[in-house]
A and B are shown apart, each in its own frame.
Chain A
């Protein structure tokens, strides 16, 4: 390595360090490249979450984890700690979902914290009965046209229930 190149590198390092110190020292400096802060929209359906808000922010995953085993394995379907009720309360008014747009309740915080949500690989992100907003899945995407034509002859789950009664 030549002496000239060494000097150049040293200069570069000094410049970088100075810039970092200047940025850290100033309060007014805007965080140009920081991650956008999560948007937390208060649920319109209730005043207070089923647990204390601060507790839920840190522990919602533990609460859900305990409840899911009780529900799946034992068949206990209490509403208090069920994911379905989280979705019922927190689905966004705009998208009807907790995870469809980047500002939706679950996604907003999770992308800020860079924690992948696995829940919605299997669970619907929307409250019950909002099927109209569901996109077609990989299996049915090619049927977009047929589905639109037949939309009004499809039997809904509600209709099925009525027929049975």
Chain B
């Protein structure tokens, strides 16, 4: 220590001093207490690096925390991805919907359950199986997407999806798309797990951010392949279900409290 101090007094910009400061900062970031991180390590990868199968993005929906009457996740998705909220659409029955809020009631007990429903990012996705052009595909990190360059709008995938997660864009969007989210007439679309945000290194989706901001904490997004990630820890602790688990699709979205 004293050696470092004397050196830094003599030469303020010496490489030794820089190394020492660097090491000190790194230590401050990591070792607050054993097992406690000062900051969440972002999953950002360099922009020239392809998405990797070492990661599997997923979401844990805690239906016990999801509030009645709240649709903050839905409006956050619409804002982030540029789709018109269904209530504002001129044709609500055919308006694209990437995520929707379900309020369910048990007919016997009257118990109410709230949950958001969206593309479940199936590991064995029926939409990918049926697509005649290969436009429906699963990215290496588990995100199921539509390549709009090859989608012909046949809508087979919409029929195949057990979760009614996909929509066709029926009308011209007249340049109202967001720069980060290309989408257009004649193509099928669905939840992308905010792929533009993931690739930017945000490490979270717009819906989960909004839910947390509203204080409900019903949505947790993360890497299900990383045993140390928050989502993996919660999945180890909580009883969770896959919707229509009987179909054996290995879903990327898991529900607690349903």
Report A's interface with B, CB cutoff 8 A.
68-70, 72-79, 84, 87, 97, 99-100, 120-129, 131, 134-143, 146, 155-157, 160-161, 163-164
Contacts and interface: CB of A to CB of B under 8 A. Distances in A.
Contacts of B95: 139
Contacts of A78: 47-48
B148 A126 contact: no
Given A75-B139, A76-B49, A78-B47, A163 B89 contact: no
B225 interface: no
B175 A97 contact: yes
Given A76-B48, A122-B184, A137-B172, 6 more contacts: A76-B50, A124-B179, A128-B179, A137-B173, A138-B174, A140-B176
Given A75-B139, A76-B50, A160 B206 contact: yes
A144 to B, nearest CB: 12
Contact of B177 (A79, A123, A143): A123
Interface stretch (B2-10, B61-69, B207-215): B207-215
Q: Which 8 A-B pairs have the closest CB atoms?
A: A122-B184, A75-B51, A164-B209, A128-B179, A74-B50, A138-B171, A137-B176, A122-B182
B141 A75 contact: yes
Interface in B133-172: 137, 139-141, 145, 147-149, 171-172
B88 A140 contact: yes
Contacts of B176: 134-137, 140
Contacts of B88: 139-140, 143, 146
B50 A127 contact: no
A136 B172 CA distance: 11
Contacts of B173: 122, 137-139
Contacts of A72: 145, 147-149
B199 A75 contact: yes
Contacts of A143: 88
Nearest to B206: A160
B214 to A, nearest CB: 9
A149 to B, nearest CB: 13
B179 A137 contact: no
A135 B204 CA distance: 30
Contact of A157 (B80, B90, B172): B80
A100 B176 CA distance: 12
B89 A140 contact: yes
Nearest to A70: B50
A68 B149 contact: yes
Contacts of A75: 50-51, 139-141, 195, 199
Contacts of B187: 122
A118 B145 CA distance: 20
A56 B52 CA distance: 32
15 contacts: A75-B139, A75-B195, A78-B47, A97-B175, A122-B173, A122-B177, A134-B175, A137-B173, A138-B171, A139-B88, A139-B90, A146-B88, A160-B80, A160-B209, A163-B209
Nearest to B52: A75
B142 to A, nearest CB: 12
A128 B147 contact: no
B76 interface: yes
B90 A73 contact: no
B183 interface: yes
B7 to A, nearest CB: 38
A126 B178 CA distance: 9
Contacts of A135: 174-176
A163 B91 CA distance: 31
A87 B179 contact: yes
B210 A160 contact: yes
Given A122-B148, A138-B174, A164 B213 contact: yes
B250 interface: no
